[in-house]
């Protein structure tokens, strides 16, 4: 069996080009794609990851906003923020960056993001559809 090397950069570039075209088409129809990032705490890897996603949004012309909450944020306050983001018509996606502090329930948080705005696919509805091959 021969191993096939794939060029990850070329594949990523092709995907980004396709995505850019879809974004242009949406904008022509009057829709400005919007994405919210939510980060709790100051995890260094999370800061880098969200920063790269913010840059990608800027490069592609996607509206984005980032919400950084302190490590001591209560679950109640985080869920209230997610409820506001769910209701915001400018936002089509919400990404809650893991890890979350231990006093915050990840399943509760992931269940709070509307399935249609769940970028990661962690909402139980989306995870279930994926398991059933209906993604």
Please identify which of the residues 97, 117, 118, 129 carries the catalytic annotation.
97
Catalytic residue selected from 53, 77, 118, 129: 53
For this structure, is 14 an active site residue? no
Active site (annotated) includes residue 97: yes
Whether 53 sits among the annotated catalytic residues: the reply is yes
Among residues 55, 120, 129, 134, the one annotated as catalytic is 120
Q: What is the 3-state secondary structure (H, E, C) of the chain?
A: CCCCCCCHHHHHHHHHHHHHHHHHHHHHCCCCCEEEEEEECCCHHHHHHHHHHHHHHHHHCCEEEEEEECCCCCHHHHHHHHHHHHHCCCCCEEEEECCCCCCCCHHHHHHHCCHHHECCCCCHHHHHHHHCCCC
Instruction: Indicate which residues carry an active-site annotation.
Output: 53, 97, 120
């Amino acid at each position: 069996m021969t191993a096939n090397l794939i060029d990850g950069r070329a594949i990523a570039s092709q995907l980004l080009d396709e995505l850019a075209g879809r974004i242009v088409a949406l904008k022509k129809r009057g829709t400005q794609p919007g994405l919210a990032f939510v980060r709790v705490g100051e995890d260094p890897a999370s800061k880098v990851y969200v920063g790269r996603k913010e840059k990608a949004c800027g490069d592609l012309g996607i509206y984005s906003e980032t919400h950084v909450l302190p490590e001591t944020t209560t679950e109640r306050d985080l869920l209230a923020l997610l409820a506001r983001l769910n209701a915001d018509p400018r936002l089509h996606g919400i990404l809650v960056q893991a890890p979350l502090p231990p006093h915050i329930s990840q399943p509760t948080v992931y269940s709070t993001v509307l399935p249609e705005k769940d970028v990661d696919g962690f909402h139980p509805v989306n995870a279930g559809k994926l398991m059933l091959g209906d993604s």
